[in-house]
A and B are shown apart, each in its own frame.
Chain A
Amino acid sequence: MAVYFAFVLGIGAALKRYMRTSTDYFLSGRAIPAWITGLAFISANLGAQEVIGMAASGAKYGMATSHFYWVGAIPAMVFLGVFMMPFYYGSRARSVPEYLKLRFDEKTRGLNAISFAVMTVFSSGISMYAMALLLKLLLGWDFTTSVLLSALIVLVYILLGGLTSAIYNEVLQFFLIVFGFAPLVFLGLKDVGGWHGLAAGLRQVAVSRGFAPDAWTSTWSVMSTPASNPMGVEWISIAMGLGFVLSFGYWCTDFLVVQRALAADSMQAARRTPLIAAVPKMVFPFLVILPGMIAIASTLHGGASGLTLPHKPDGSLNYDMVIPLMLGHYFPSGMLGLGLTALMASFMTGMAGNVTAFNTVWTYDIYQAYIRHGASDRHYLNMGRIATVVGIGLSITAAYAANRFNNIMDLLQLLFAFVNAPLFATFLLGMFWKRASGHGAFFGLLAGTAAAAVHHGLTLPVGSATGIKGGWIAVTHLYASQMAQNFWTAIYAFGICFVVTVAISLATRPRAEQDLKGLVYSLTPRLSAAGERWYARPAVLGACVLAGAIVLNFIFR
């Protein structure tokens, strides 16, 4: 572990001498090759919540959790690389909110920048909080020590090397996470008797929970009605809510991930970034979902070595313990150190990604836009460093707030979900419909957020109390699960935002066409792929990746 931390800080120090301008600091001077930005692209999203949460979902819902990858992430990443990246990278926007400013107007950018900045600080705080809880459990460290130690490490390496340092560390952490968790899957599978043993165990799990025997091992064949699968969703909400609205909204508009592609050294590299990232993303389910499936099969069916999930105080199984439990159960000392380091690395990538996105959006989209316009580049570089310190300081505060008032965090995450749900409609119309106007985008976003809130207020997952789970206006519809409610909230928010944006755009004046060159599909010259080797062309890469995802969906149908 000590070796790893020395390396993390060493990279920051080695990169310090390259940080001369604000572009170096916030966008890595747009000089990083595609395979590095590609790995950083997925690594920024491979925070610990992802690892622990996906393993927990693997135990709770089985193989169908892979919908988050093979229906959710992959198509969205291909769309980003093939269709959207030319506008982000080509417009020379330095951030996603800045693209909104160029395409629409100041108020749309302001709305997006402020909600995004607040969101990153809280996500980074929640990441820190989760890590501190886990370290307390596994190593007996106290809350304050863990929070301050992790904050200090992330602070030092970002302060020194900016985005480049964050990206380099993300690539390092990517390999560490893969190498730390792969043996876990190997030993776990060996323990339950290979894939056949696992499938047999999961059939018993499914039957004992009252589902068809293949409910834990298949993805599509159990999606005909919400009652036939443990997720409580049906295929249309998976395809539309998760696949189309939520995943495209996250992967195509979240600056946290898009920032990695903007750091690439050329348009081609920027477009290849999400496509390269999609390849390892496709096999991640085997790394993060399988451990959950192994743990539940072993707990209920009895694995050879007696791995058993602990219970929560209320008697239900504590699914979040899948990864920590399996690390302790299968790894001897030596490997255990590597596994714990990988887990800590995943917490820190989660934090660092949020902090680098925060300092950029704060400096370019809030400070430069509204507080101090037209200062020297050196001034903004220093502001970026200050924003890094302040951002981490705020994250620490958020971590303590999460520790004290758990409900506030739930409430905030709910609000963010409302704000994010309609975003993709705005970008889709902005990029592909030249008539869309600034007023349309702004009020469309507000209407979409309001629609999300109202839908949440009118519906409730079965068996929940009204309040934070929904139904706070009146209960007009019951969903089979919270996940189904989330997916439908997103579908409504997207639909309302789309309709309102179109209606208001038609009633208001559009921007002059010459201002929209490079920002809208129909007014941008097609990029010529000539001169690139055929296999490196974005469309070819994208098609291969999609074909791979379809094959996987078919194999595990």
Chain B
Amino acid sequence: MGLDIRIPIGSLFVILGALLAGYGLLSNPAIYQRSLGVNINLWWGGALLAFGIAMLALAWRAAAARGRAGREGVGEPDPFG
């Protein structure tokens, strides 16, 4: 398929994660009374960021493997590509 879906998924979660974690760092701690004292924005934003980066890393690795295979004309087909 033309577009590796891991790129849009990865980018979306990197942006959302960064926004959320950034807000978690800057926001007034009083709002976390609702979430039982857990700064859920910071923690969960970090989790989303890590997930997004992992997705992008997988996509880049697959693209690099395809590039190598393309130059050599052979190679293992990427099972997720």
Range class of the A interface residue count = 35 or more
Supposing A33-B81, A332-B41 touch, asked if A171 and B9 sit within 8 A by C-beta, the answer is yes
CA distance A304 to B15 in the complex (A): 34
Are the C-beta atoms of A331 and B34 separated by less than 8 Å? yes
User: How far in angstroms is the closest Cβ of chain B from A46?
Assistant: 16
Are the C-beta atoms of B12 and A335 separated by less than 8 Å? no
CA distance A332 to B43 in the complex (A): 13
A13-21, A112-120, A483-491: which lies at the interface? A13-21
Q: Mark A163-203, 1 if CB is under 8 A from B, else 0.
A: 01000100110010001000100010011000000000000
Is A544 an interface position by the 8 A CB rule? no
CA distance A187 to B45 in the complex (A): 15
Are the C-beta atoms of A333 and B31 separated by less than 8 Å? yes
Are the C-beta atoms of B24 and A179 separated by less than 8 Å? no
Within 8 A of A (CB), among B17-46: 19-20, 23-24, 27, 31-32, 34-36, 38, 40-41, 44-45
CA distance A14 to B8 in the complex (A): 10
Q: Residues of B contacting A183 with CB < 8 Å?
A: 40, 44
User: How far in angstroms is the closest Cβ of chain B from A307?
Assistant: 11
User: How far in angstroms is the closest Cβ of chain A from B18?
Assistant: 10
Chain B residue total in the interface (Cβ 8 A):
32
CA distance A213 to B13 in the complex (A): 43
Interface residues of B (CB under 8 A from A): 1-3, 5, 8-9, 11-13, 15-16, 19-20, 23-24, 27, 31-32, 34-36, 38, 40-41, 44-45, 47-48, 51, 79-81
18 more CB-based (< 8 A) A-B contacts, given A172-B9, A179-B48, A190-B38: A3-B16, A3-B19, A11-B8, A14-B8, A17-B2, A18-B3, A29-B1, A33-B80, A168-B3, A168-B8, A171-B9, A179-B51, A183-B40, A187-B38, A330-B34, A330-B36, A331-B35, A335-B35
Q: Residues of B contacting A334 with CB < 8 Å?
A: 20, 23-24, 27, 40-41, 45
Interface residues of A (CB under 8 A from B): 3-4, 7, 10-11, 14-15, 17-18, 28-29, 31-33, 35-36, 164, 168, 171-172, 175, 179, 183, 187, 190-191, 304-305, 329-335, 338
Are the C-beta atoms of A332 and B31 separated by less than 8 Å? yes
Q: Residues of A contacting B44 with CB < 8 Å?
A: 179, 183, 335, 338
Residue of A whose beta carbon sits closest to that of B55: A175
User: How far in angstroms is the closest Cβ of chain A from B81?
Assistant: 7
Main secondary structure of the interface of B (DSSP, over half): helix
CA distance A250 to B47 in the complex (A): 35
User: How far in angstroms is the closest Cβ of chain A from B28?
Assistant: 10
CA distance A329 to B33 in the complex (A): 10
Q: Per a CB cutoff under 8 Å, which of A17, A171, A304 touches B5?
A: A171
User: How far in angstroms is the closest Cβ of chain B from A163?
Assistant: 12
Residue of B whose beta carbon sits closest to that of A29: B1
Q: Residues of B contacting A330 with CB < 8 Å?
A: 34-36
User: How far in angstroms is the closest Cβ of chain A from B47?
Assistant: 8
Q: Per a CB cutoff under 8 Å, which of A28, A35, A179, A191 touches B80?
A: A35
User: How far in angstroms is the closest Cβ of chain B from A466?
Assistant: 47
Between-chain CB contacts (< 8 Å), 10 pairs: A3-B15, A11-B8, A18-B1, A168-B3, A168-B8, A172-B12, A175-B9, A183-B40, A187-B35, A332-B34
Residue of B whose beta carbon sits closest to that of A304: B36
CA distance A222 to B13 in the complex (A): 42
Q: Residues of B contacting A4 with CB < 8 Å?
A: 12, 16
Are the C-beta atoms of A15 and B8 separated by less than 8 Å? no
Residue of B whose beta carbon sits closest to that of A332: B31
